[in-house]
Amino acid sequence: MLYFSHPACLLHDPGEGLPGHPERPERLAAIEAALAGREWLGWERREAPRASEEELTLVHPRQHVDAIRELCEQGGGAIDVDTYAGEASWEAALRSAGAACAMTRALVAGEAKVGFSAGRPPGHHAEPSRAMGFCLFDNVAVAAALAIAELGVERVFVLDWDVHHGNGTAEIFRRRDDVLFASIHQGGIFPGSGRREDTGSGPGEGFTINCPVAAGSEEGEWMELLEVEILPAAARFEPQLVLISAGFDAHREDPLAECRLEAASFGRMAAAVRVAAEGWGAPVGAVLEGGYALPALAESVVATMSALAGTD
């Protein structure tokens, strides 16, 4: 079990330009305090390298990468009403994407069967040419694209259980049949995409699964979508690598949405994914996305990592 992060990910602070921003450094600090208090659950910790420009440009045009770097170099600023990059955000963004890439390299190399990439800023809302929704680069998409472009992986299953639709990841892979993207998210909230009828386009038709749920939905509904719809579809896809866009804002205490999961719910979803992936012979890597109620976030990460390791 491998855990990737970097201290630079604690220095990205959207509150500098957008006061009271929920995506704050304390999120990662809370996760790491909870893990440290449990001897890191026996996981090996590794420092994330910087993602290279070659890695980032697997899914983002060079102009987008340059624009984010120039904004940070010039002292930073708000990109939209809820997305910010400051001077320290460039290094954080490189380490956040780099954590997902390094985890993916290690998993594909067989160094571990499960991994967790704890980076900030998060990634799944970042579209190819547009930072949005607290996200600058789409970390999980960069990692999935890396696995296929450079590591010899032919099929990647990306499961996005963040309460918000992973519009960036969906957009990046919507025309591809080598990445199966499945998302469970609260319908009708940010970013507004992810309708059930959207199943991909062109050669990617059928390789996008959107499962919107209503406000107030509980674990049972999420587990049913996962076990009855998503995992059987993933089994037919025969993935060689599983990446989880692991947001924890479907927790009942989260201030940004109205779903009613508990920390243990994320553990149960992770366990179901782990068992399925074992059957496929595929390693599983989770990449941190959202989650804004600090104790709930930390407990949910602990539950997820414990379940991935099979020590829950």
CB of 290 to Zn ion, least distance (A): 3
Is 208 or 245 the residue whose CB approaches Zn ion more closely? 245
133 is a contact residue toward Zn ion (CB under 5 A):
no
Is 113 or 251 the residue whose CB approaches Zn ion more closely? 251
Task: With H, G, I as helix, E, B as strand and everything else as coil, classify residue 158.
Answer: strand
- Are 116 and 306 in contact, with CB atoms under 8 Å apart? no
- Are 140 and 107 in contact, with CB atoms under 8 Å apart? no
Q: SS3 breakdown of the chain: % helix, strand, coil, rounded to 5?
A: 45, 20, 40
Closest-CA residue to 301 (of 226, 251, 237, 248): 248
* Whether residue 232 has a cis bond before it, omega within 30° of 0: no
Amino acid of residue 244: I
Beta bridge partners of residue 210, listed in sequence order: 183
DSSP for 24-77?
-HHHHHHHHHHHHTTGGGGPEEEEPPPPPHHHHTTTS-HHHHHHHHHHHHTTEE
Is 167 or 240 the residue whose CB approaches Zn ion more closely? 167
Among the residue ranges 6-14, 64-72, 156-164, 208-216, the one whose residues contact Zn ion (CB under 5 A): 156-164
Q: Is 165 a catalytic residue?
A: no
Is 162 or 299 the residue whose CB approaches Zn ion more closely? 162
91 is a contact residue toward Zn ion (CB under 5 A):
no
32 is a contact residue toward Zn ion (CB under 5 A):
no
Q: Which uninterrupted H or E stretch holds 242? A: strand 241-246
**Tokens in use for 7?**
């201290």
Site string for Zn ion, 218-247 (x = CB under 5 A): -----------------------------x
Q: Which of 32, 91, 127, 162 binds Zn ion (CB under 5 A)?
A: 162
> How many chain residues are in contact with Zn ion, going by CB under 5 A?
5
212 is a contact residue toward Zn ion (CB under 5 A):
no
Site string for Zn ion, 247-266 (x = CB under 5 A): x-x-----------------
Which entry of 12, 60, 124, 125 is annotated as an active-site residue?
Answer: 125
CB of 16 to Zn ion, least distance (A): 21
Give residues in contact with Zn ion (CB under 5 A).
162, 164, 247, 249, 290
Give the residue numbers annotated as catalytic, written as ranges. Answer: 125
